[in-house]
Every structure is written in structure tokens, then in C-alpha cells.
Homo-oligomer: A and B are copies of this chain.
């Protein structure tokens, strides 16, 4: 076994627009969360459940990034909230400029909580600040317990980890304690939730925490 390493410069010009977005969110009293994960971790299902539970408690809006299709936006369109679909046409992450373009459509003065659902990708979105208050990384139990070690940038840059699909624990090779330990080794200050959108476990904790953050 031999190991070779390459270096890669991360483009930083995105950060100026991200600062503008952050100022916009602050001025308008909007808590913006950047939801990041692998494809198929259940981001959209988690959003569906969250919108359902919080729709009478918090004024929300959603910006969704996808490489292609508006399938996710269609899933969320029944809640009567502003849902903006961003199609990146092959690009592997959202950038601050694209989010900025969407902000004119979200009715900012009537929004307290903005979910930005990023493209499904555990690598690239880690390096692109969108101006969010926090990154929330969603990890499915089906992905195993080693993902924080293999994709450390994402877990290091996130403030919150949602371990989703806990209902599948009996059937998959994932040690929850080990997953938590690996995540906390990478980022000791992570706030961690465990959720299942199938049996509703942990969703109320997650939603109550969101309400607390909005009211801060």
C-alpha cells in the first residue's frame, strides 16, 4: 500500500457574496441553515417532516439546490411556503451568488427561518460559505459510522449533525456510539440529533431546538 497526496486551492471569491448574504439575513432577522449531506441521506424527508411540524409555529422558507430536476421542490410545494428551486446544471454545490439571486423571491420580511438544502455531496459544499448561520450535516445510518473520518471538512465546518434513518439501525452495519464518537473527534462542539422520518423518533427534539434558535 502506498499513499500519494495532491493539494488543491479552494476558490475564495465566493466569500464576499456570502458576507452580503449574511448581512441580509441579519438585517431581516432570518436564521439561515445550510443543509448538507450525501445523496439519499433523507434531507428532503427531514424537511417535509420539519415543515409539517413547525408550519404553525415559525415562518419558514426553503431554497433547494439540485444538479438537475425540481423533484425536491415539488415534494415541498404543498406546504404553501416560499420554495425556490435552484438548478446548478451539473455544478456540485451551491454558491453564494446563486443563493443571493433566490433571496428576492423568499419574502424576507415574512421569514424567520430559511432552510437552504444544498446539492447532495459530502465534499464540495463544505468549502462554500453561503452566508448561513450554521451548516447542518445530515448523515444516514446506512452510510456507516466512518463518514466523519473520511469526509472531515464537512463535519468540521458544521455546527449540527443530524443522524437520520435511526429506524434502520437493526439492519445496517452502523454503531451509533461510534458514529457520534467519530463526529466529535472531528468536531467536539457539534450539536447532535438522532432522527427517523419513518417512526418520528427525535423529530420533536430537532424541531424544538430550531424554534429555540429562531427565538434567540
Bound CA span A189–B122, Å: 29
Q: Given B7, B124, B168, which contacts A124 in the complex, CB threshold below 8 Å?
A: B124
- Judged by a CB distance under 8 angstroms, whether A159 is at the interface is no
Is there contact, CB below 8 Å, between A91 and B8? yes
What distance in Å separates the Cβ of A77 from its nearest Cβ neighbour in chain B?
A: 5
A residues contacting B by CB (< 8 A) are 1-8, 10, 38-40, 66-74, 77, 83-92, 98, 101-102, 105, 119-124, 127, 140, 142-144, 146-147, 149-153, 165, 167-168, 171-172
Contact between chains at B3 and A39 (CB < 8 Å): no
Contact A1 B77, beta carbon cutoff 8 Å: yes
Once bound together, how far apart are the Cα atoms of A74 and B73, in whole Å? 41
Residues of B within 8 A of A140 (CB): 40, 142
Known: A121-B123, A124-B123, A124-B124. A4 touches B90 (CB 8 A): no
Contact A68 B120 (CB under 8 A): no
| List of B residues within 8 angstroms of A71 by Cβ | 146, 149-150
**CB-based contact B2/A66 at 8 Å:** no
- Cβ contact within 8 Å between B153 and A67: yes
In the complex, which of the residues B84, B85, B120, B142 contacts A122, with contact meaning CB atoms closer than 8 Å? Answer: B120
The answer on a CB contact under 8 Å between A151 and B39 is: yes
Contact B150 A69 (CB under 8 A): yes
Provide the residues of chain B in CB contact with A89, threshold 8 Å.
5-8
Closest residue of B by beta carbon distance from A3 = B85
Distance A112 CA – B158 CA, assembled complex (angstroms): 43
In chain B, what residue has the closest Cβ to A186?
Answer: B68
User: In the assembly, what is the distance between CA of A7 and CA of B172, in Å?
Assistant: 39
| Nearest B residue (CB) for A5 | B87
For A92, the chain B residues whose CB sits under 8 A away are 92, 121, 123-124
10 nearest CB pairs, A to B = A40-B143, A142-B142, A92-B123, A8-B91, A38-B39, A92-B124, A5-B87, A38-B38, A3-B85, A1-B83
